[in-house]
Structure 1
């Protein structure tokens, strides 16, 4: 099974390609141009055509709304046209899931000038919240440029890789994916 996982949530775009659970390719770069301009180049570089893909994984946030919508729309379209499953994943959840830290765990990411977090206590995943609203206690993880005072700081965290691993495990357990027409990015504030 070939799984393509895409993350367009921040200024870097990354894509991972897996075959039968093994990583074939991981491409990451800082996005100096618009996401829509970069995606065709990235996919050409990776050497994957949508018809060769058996399942898609896509980040739904947290992150910048326009790049998220562009990546999500691309994957939703491919999944719909090829009738292949699409598995959404959320970045804070991936950091909590794949960072070995003591419980409770707190993942923090910056979107524009605001910090957002999510917690995991070993049983339950909290909703995404702004950090200034009653900051949580626990072992914190983040990206260096987002929240450098965290206990565990990554220079980079390839969300597409961890999202792809998570999606692959979900598919193996029988998960059929989501209806692509209902997938939306994670909205961090109510509409105006």
Structure 2
């Protein structure tokens, strides 16, 4: 099965292609937030470098957030259009799940963090078990003070932003998922029998709480 992975959850664009044991990834990190300009260009280059045609793709996996909302919509629109034109399945991947998958195997929990506004973080907790990444706590919108006392390995853009406070980060620390990780995560969901309705797919969004109501740290 040939799987295309699409990530635009952060400032940069990443596409990954899995074809059995063959893997190829292209990233554009020269200019932030150039998703709409570069995603089709990257896809054309990816097809040329792999010698494949779009019609050979069997499944598209796309990160749906949390992340930068407008950027996510670019990736999701691209993935939807391509899936519909090819008549193939489209499956969503949570950004935090993919980030945790990129963390090294450690004997402690892994917490994936994506920065939100101010000191808020999108967070989810995981455990690495025999090479598999198991989610232990559902995604939530937390403040830094609610995260920093956790005895865990931290990954993601939120971990990088608050590196001094959190300290336990791998080197290098991924900021957002790679296209290959999104492809692998989507393939795993698909093979386990999970399915998404492409028409209903939207970016994963969690509303920030009322800061005045919840007070300052």
* TM bracket, shorter-chain basis: 0.7 to 0.9
Deviation at 1:128, TM superposition (A): 2.5
Cα contact 1:57–1:86 (8 A) shared by 2? yes
Gaps of 5+ in 2: 128-133, 209-217
**Mapped partners of 1:31, 1:111: distance in 2:** 23
Deviation at 1:187, TM superposition (A): 0.7
Deviation at 1:10, TM superposition (A): 0.8
User: How is 1:1-192 mapped onto 2 (pairs within 5 angstroms)?
Assistant: 1-23=1-23, 25-30=24-29, 32=31, 34-47=34-47, 49-99=53-103, 100-111=105-116, 113=118, 114-120=120-126, 124-132=136-144, 134-135=146-147, 137-143=150-156, 145-148=160-163, 149-153=166-170, 154-156=172-174, 158-175=177-194, 177-189=195-207
Higher helix share: 2
| Aligned partner of residue 77 in structure 1, secondary structure | helix
Change beyond 3 A, Cα 1:86–1:64:
same
Change beyond 3 A, Cα 1:66–1:29:
same
TM-score, length basis structure 2: 0.75
**Mapped partners of 1:64, 1:147: distance in 2:** 18
Deviation at 1:88, TM superposition (A): 0.8
User: How many residues in Structure 1 have an aligned counterpart in Structure 2?
Assistant: 189
RMSD: 2.6
Residues 67-100 of structure 1: CA deviation (Å, up to 9, x unaligned): 1001101111221232211121112112223421
| Structure showing greater Rg | 2
| Aligned partner of residue 3 in structure 1, secondary structure | strand
Change beyond 3 A, Cα 1:142–1:84:
same
